[in-house]
């Protein structure tokens, strides 16, 4: 089977792209392997009209909307390999191969769990990445932030904003390292407590955090924890040899969202540290508009543009 655009990943980005391209009458293949990034989240917040919607319900509504477009094929499969080049990519899923003129990568990122006891179990329940996603629901409690060496360059504004919602904010360290004196003064001035001894264990029960245990034996009562664990690209994206930025995100042209490989575009979490469902959906809409223009021009050149609605 041959498609105009194959979209890899059926999260907010991929679903948004499938809708945009479907409505422009492109022949679209949308696939999803099911391992969504917010799998632990109970509700999606901060997506206008969908605030508080469970992630599975979000995907169900989006897929139901796509049913209006017979030119969009949705499949729950994983793509294992992409070969070929612009105009004729070959995608392999198990024994099956399909062809597409262009590829849009919306495969998200993989969060790597930190080797701190309790971290994996509490991730998504009491440990969050972003107060815009999960903050209001747990406001006016004691919150912690885990400072990691790689976050030193941009942690200060992140922590200061937590003060707007929490009763008490504590900064904990993954390892022992020296904090910039200016940052320490700013945080202390804002009433933030700083603990230098590294975090040993997150103590919790029934998916709730109770305290943070430090290497020096201190036990700090704490209910909510924010952390940015390392992320990596999914293996399919890693296998494509695309240019990445210094943080490991796929580098795209800011206007067209084309990657370093002609014909392969990318949108959503895999391209940015600024991660959120509505941001992912918007970036995919942007990519779709460029893809549509590009593919339509190609179909016109080939005299292959559909002339009536019955053919797709």
Ligand X SMILES: Cc1cc2nc3c(=O)[nH]c(=O)nc-3n(C[C@H](O)[C@H](O)[C@H](O)COP(=O)(O)OP(=O)(O)OC[C@H]3O[C@@H](n4cnc5c(N)ncnc54)[C@H](O)[C@@H]3O)c2cc1C
Residues in the site for ligand X, rule: CB under 6 A?
8-14, 31-38, 40-41, 44-47, 78-79, 106-108, 111, 124, 129, 133-134, 234, 236, 268-269, 275-278, 280
Nearer to ligand X, 198 or 248 (CB): 248
In whole angstroms, give the CA distance from residue 149 to residue 252: 26
Nearer to ligand X, 32 or 183 (CB): 32
Nearer to ligand X, 41 or 290 (CB): 41
Nearer to ligand X, 129 or 259 (CB): 129
CB of 59 to ligand X, least distance (A): 8
Residues of 241-251 as b/e, b for ≥16 C-beta within 10 angstroms?
Answer: ebebeeeebbe
Q: Please say whether the dihedral angle defined by the alpha carbons of residues 256, 260, 266 and 270, taken in this order, is positive or negative.
A: negative
In whole angstroms, give the CA distance from residue 174 to residue 154: 16
CB of 233 to ligand X, least distance (A): 9
In whole angstroms, give the CA distance from residue 9 to residue 282: 15
Contacts of residue 269, Cβ cutoff 8 Å, sequence gap at least 6? 11, 13, 37, 108, 109, 275, 280
In whole angstroms, give the CA distance from residue 204 to residue 240: 40
Nearer to ligand X, 133 or 211 (CB): 133
Structure token digits, residue 52? 């508080």
CB of 189 to ligand X, least distance (A): 30
CB of 53 to ligand X, least distance (A): 9
CB of 185 to ligand X, least distance (A): 32
- Mapping DSSP to helix (H, G, I), strand (E, B) and coil, where does residue 240 land? coil
């Amino acid at each position: 089977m041959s498609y105009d655009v194959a979209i890899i990943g059926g999260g907010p980005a991929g679903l948004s792209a499938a809708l945009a391209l479907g409505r422009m009458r492109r022949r679209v293949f949308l696939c999803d392997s099911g391992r969504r990034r917010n799998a632990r989240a109970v509700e999606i917040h901060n997506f206008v009209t969908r605030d508080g919607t469970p992630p599975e319900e979000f995907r169900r509504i989006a897929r139901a909307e796509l049913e209006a477009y017979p030119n969009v094929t949705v499949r729950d499969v994983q793509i294992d390999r992409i070969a070929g080049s612009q105009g004729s990519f070959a995608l392999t899923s198990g024994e099956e191969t399909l062809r597409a003129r262009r590829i849009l990568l919306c495969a998200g990122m993989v969060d790597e769990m930190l080797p701190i006891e309790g971290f994996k179990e509490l991730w998504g329940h009491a440990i969050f990445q972003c107060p815009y996603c999960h903050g209001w629901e747990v406001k006016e409690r004691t919150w912690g932030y885990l400072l990691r060496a790689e976050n030193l360059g941009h942690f200060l504004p992140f922590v200061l904003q937590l003060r707007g919602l929490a009763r008490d904010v504590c900064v904990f360290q993954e390892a022992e390292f020296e904090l910039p004196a200016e940052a320490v003064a700013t945080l202390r001035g804002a009433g933030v407590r700083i603990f230098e001894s590294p975090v040993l264990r997150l103590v919790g029960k029934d998916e709730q955090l109770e305290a943070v245990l430090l290497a020096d034996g201190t036990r700090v009562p704490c209910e909510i924890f924010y952390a940015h664990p390392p992320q990596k690209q999914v293996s399919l994206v890693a296998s494509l040899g695309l240019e990445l930025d210094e943080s490991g995100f796929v580098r795209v042209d800011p206007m067209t969202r084309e990657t370093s490989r002609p014909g392969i575009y990318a949108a959503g979490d895999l391209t940015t540290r600024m991660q959120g469902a509505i941001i992912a959906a918007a970036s995919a809409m942007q990519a779709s508009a460029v893809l549509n223009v590009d593919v339509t021009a190609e179909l016109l050149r080939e005299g292959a543009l559909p002339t009536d609605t019955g053919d797709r």
